[in-house]
Amino acid sequence: MLYDIWTETIITAFNIPYTAEKYCHPCYCSVKLSSVKQALYGWDQNALLVVLQLIFYGFSLQYTNMFIKHFKDTTEIISGDRAILRELLNPRKDQVQIEYSLAWALVESGKKTIPHTISYSEVYYILQGAGVMHIDDEHAPVHTQDAIYIPPHAIQWIENTGQEALIFLCIVSPAWHPEAEQILNNDRQYR
């Protein structure tokens, strides 16, 4: 009932073709009629039409066919595991329709990251350098052009055993977010 009142009010107020009503998702439309009247008051017609299009089409974002983020435009940070990191793509921040995030990471010669876990699968792809990858109780040497799969919740860290910077891509699926990562206690002994 409320869904019908909401739809009829909007369609009548803005002369929207009635066929658009079928696209309105009930959970977006279940508001009180008084809220609709308040929303209509003081808004110009063009602004409301944009909002209504978002409602009728399920708040889906429109993406372009091409999205380019230049490396120089990314921010260099020190990640929680102490790698130098630049986030290249993350659907939580960028207008891209992907289910993973992509970051560039660097570990300086003689350094290693802090053991940590991520709730999701991760892949490292080594672009430059050499090191040792640690995943739970396993460890193995890694080099340029190696791809390393890291299962969800695995204790992981990488150490740079080479003479140059160890540079790699990090692909996390689903996309990385801070709550998915846990940095482990530094006092624990690791091999």
Indicate if 164 and 86 belong to the same structural domain.
yes
Structural domain harbouring 140: 71-183
Q: Indicate whether 126 belongs to any domain.
A: yes
Q: Are 167 and 190 in contact (CB under 8 A)?
A: no
Please tell me whether residues 95 and 161 are part of one structural domain.
Answer: yes
Answer whether residue 189 is part of any domain: no
Tell me the residue type at 168: F
Span 59-69, pLDDT tens digits? 444 555 788 99
pLDDT of residue 120: 95
pLDDT tens sequence across 121-168: 999 999 999 999 999 999 999 999 999 999 999 999 999 999 999 999
Q: Whole-number mean pLDDT of the chain? A: 77
Compute the distance between CA of residue 6 and CA of residue 39 in angstroms, rounded to an integer.
12
Overall domain count for the chain: 2
Task: Please report whether residue 33 resides in a domain.
Answer: yes
Distance CA 189, CA 34 (A): 62
- Say if residue 109 is in the same domain as residue 163: yes
Both 120 and 164 in one domain: the answer is yes
CA atoms within 13 A on the CB side of 65: 0
Look up residue 22 and give its two tokens: 């079928």
Nearest Cα to Cα of residue 169 among 145, 138, 140: 145
Q: Do 167 and 88 share a structural domain?
A: yes
